[in-house]
Amino acid sequence: MTKPVVKVCETCGRFRRYHAADQYCIICGYDTLAAACTCGRDLEYALDEGEEGGLHCPNCGRDWRSAALGG
């Protein structure tokens, strides 16, 4: 079995562990999973954060939750 990786759904902004080959979000069903930030930073840090409020990449500052809501 492969080691799970943290991915974020760029549609709903939820972070979860997935298999590397998974493409679809388990929450909203869209095929917009990303395994890393656009700057290349892995997303492991995001699982320690709660589901409420913004969540920014510690490398480039991208706000994943705002981006998912179209902001």
pLDDT at 54: 73
**pLDDT bucket at 65, cuts 50 / 70 / 90:** confident
pTM, rounded to two decimals: 0.81
> Distances from the Cα of 16 to the Cαs of 10, 43, 46, in angstroms?
12, 10, 9
CA gap 49, 26 in Å, rounded:
19
Please tell me what DSSP assigns to residue 46. Answer: G
pLDDT at 18: 97
CA gap 4, 62 in Å, rounded:
23
| Span 3-56, pLDDT tens digits | 899 999 999 888 999 999 999 999 999 999 999 999 999 999 888 766 566 788
